[in-house]
Amino acid sequence: MQLDKSFLEKQISKATEYLDEKKNVKAEKYLDKIVKKDPANDEAWLLLGIAKRRLGKKEEAIECFTSATELNVSKEEAWGLLTITLVDQGNIDTAKKTIEKAGRLNPDNSRIQFLRHTLIETYIKYGPFF
């Protein structure tokens, strides 16, 4: 069965609205349904990870961000959020390995290369900045 791309885009848009409005529980429930329907949707995994992170479900957020990066190795936001969520848990070595992997998989992506060189140190020094 082919998923209706337009319908899925509308669902992602609605989930983004919930996140923008800080309706994180609602976004999480909505996005859980989306990833069940379309487990290959990297954007849905990213947004679900954001909702779970905001709700303090960091292990689940890590799983979501990991899924997003596995589906789309150039998903900059997912690599960054995966890295800082690992830092939040005190997994600095794993965070370093994660952002290094992102850099290896995306050698021509200047934004990921910038994150590779600055994200962890900046995040540790200044804390959450988003």
**Model confidence, pTM:** 0.91
Task: Tell me: do 49 and 16 sit in the same domain.
Answer: yes
Task: Tell me: do 1 and 44 sit in the same domain.
Answer: yes
CA-to-CA separations, 115 to 26, 49, 122, in angstroms, rounded: 30, 19, 10
Task: Tell me: do 46 and 80 sit in the same domain.
Answer: no
Task: Tell me: do 79 and 46 sit in the same domain.
Answer: no
pLDDT at 1: 42
Q: For the chain, what is the domain count?
A: 2
**Is residue 66 domain-resident?**
no
pLDDT at 3: 58
Task: Tell me: do 40 and 82 sit in the same domain.
Answer: no
CA-to-CA separations, 81 to 4, 17, 63, 112, in angstroms, rounded: 29, 19, 11, 12
Task: Tell me: do 80 and 30 sit in the same domain.
Answer: no
pLDDT at 76: 96
Task: Tell me: do 43 and 93 sit in the same domain.
Answer: no
Domain housing 106? 73-130
**Is residue 63 domain-resident?**
no
Give the pLDDT confidence of 31-86 residue by residue, as tens digits.
999 999 999 999 999 999 999 999 999 999 999 999 999 999 999 999 999 999 99
Task: Tell me: do 78 and 36 sit in the same domain.
Answer: no
**Is residue 68 domain-resident?**
no
Binning pLDDT at 50, 70 and 90, where does residue 5 land? confident
AA letter at 2: Q
